[in-house]
Amino acid sequence: MTNPIADPGHGHSPAAWTAVIIMLVAFTIGTVAFCLDVPWLVWASAVLLVLGWITGGILAKAGYGVKGPKYTPKAH
pLDDT digits (tens, 9 = 90+) for 15-69: 889 999 999 999 999 999 999 999 999 999 999 999 999 999 999 899 888 777 7
Q: Give the predicted TM-score (pTM) of the model.
A: 0.79
Give residue limits of the domains in the chain: 23-64
For residue 72, which phi and psi values (nearest 5 degrees)? Answer: -120, 115
Distances (CA, A) of 4 to 15, 31, 44, 67: 19, 39, 40, 11
